[in-house]
Amino acid sequence: MRKMPGLKRGTKYKMADYAKEHYDFPLTKKSEHKPLKGVRVIDAGNMVAAPFATVLLADFGADVIKIEHPKYGDGQRKLEPIMDGIPLWWKSVSRNKRCITLDLGKPEGADIFKRLVKGSDVIVENYRPGTFEKWGIGYDAIRAIDPRVIMLRISGFGQTGPYKNRAGFGRVAEAMSGLTNLIGEPDGPPMSPGYPLGDLIAGIFGSLSVMMALYHRDLRGGEGQMIDLALYEAVFRFLDFDPIQYDQMKIVHKRTGNRVAYVAPSSMFKTKDGKYLTLAASTQSVWLRLAEAIGRIDMTTDPKFIDNSARVENTVECNGVVGGWIEQHTRDEVIEHFDKHGVAYSAVFDMEDAFRDLQYRAREAMVRVPDPDLGEAIVQNVVPKFSATPGSVDFLGHKLGEDNDEILCGELGLSKQKLKELKDAGII
């Protein structure tokens, strides 16, 4: 790969200056001081929410052991994009994890699972409520083995309530939470983000909850516990002010298209060269800078635009003025002008834009990771950045059962002959 020329302080760059052939992100560097080193996590989940929770822990040093069905594997291995038989999503969501196969539904598989529980800190699963109990490895069984174990259980609707046995995933959670109802044009149908946002939100809550439980156990003398996380509740929490608004004002938040219902001006604006930018004047100071940038300082004293409440009342007109100015200029011209005036905005990026962007490069937001299947692949770097104990991307997702020998023989003490017998029986 070609090297990106060094960035010179004070030099003005445009996105076009950073040609695609220069997207030389740094090679990943293994951190030796990860904050979760020594924490063992058993990832017994499937698909998106649970694996995303555990990869966030793995990035910061947790020893995550991914358990998959020996025949079917995790469902994410079958999801597009798949290149030459290699599941790219899997490579990303299972980075930094060791992978073993184990049929938990068979008694001997459940017995091996119980052996793994001993000495582990966290178990994560996202099957329908009652599934682990049916297999004899529910929380009561886990607690009997080791009361210090923390068990995170992610499901569509939680472990209790009339909907607990319903199948649930991100799209369902987004709809029930009310998020889907907020996306789309006012006169159009509700829209899905088209990405498993609900699963990823739940994954963030899942990793956060595990850390709080570990803190309680290890620093406050507590025991392990079960964490019951419902997908729809995680997404619902992101709607922050909507419940209190309905409770106090009986207002149902409706779709507003690209406008933010509580801020003006705010929308998606098209530039002269057919690109898009977005902005929201969420504070008065931002509005004053924006008005100055577009040469309309007169609007700052106009009663219709004097403060945010007034601007929200006159959103269409306010957005029209801002949009009218933007559509007379190219994206690069708008960016240069808005940067000069300190306006809060962003060009609407696609992934090619992200790969070309100087801020992504300067922050090392992506890294190159060697991989036996791909040679090398670029993935998101660890978030957030720690000054003393940073995480790192050490390797990408392993093949199905790649670490069976290492874990089942090397760490559980099973013989090679036993491993073969288990494989022949379809248990691993």
Active site residues: 199
The whole-angstrom separation of Cα 98 and Cα 396 is 10
The whole-angstrom separation of Cα 13 and Cα 195 is 32
Output Rg (C-alpha) for the chain, integer angstroms. 25
Q: Please check whether residue 102 is in contact with residue 112, taking contact to mean a CB–CB distance below 8 angstroms.
A: yes
The whole-angstrom separation of Cα 60 and Cα 12 is 36
Amino acid identity, position 9: R
Q: Please check whether residue 5 is in contact with residue 30, taking contact to mean a CB–CB distance below 8 angstroms.
A: no
Which DSSP helix (H) or strand (E) runs through 366?
strand 366-371
Exposed, middle or buried by CB within 10 Å (0-12, 13-18, 19+), for 192? middle
The pairing of beta strand 63-68 with beta strand 97-101? parallel
Name the 3-class secondary structure at 161: coil
Sorted by sequence, the CB contacts under 8 Å of residue 266 that are 6+ apart come out as: 258, 259, 260, 278, 279, 280, 281, 282, 315, 319
The pairing of beta strand 266-270 with beta strand 276-280? antiparallel
Task: Supply φ then ψ for residue 42, to 5 degrees.
Answer: -100, 115
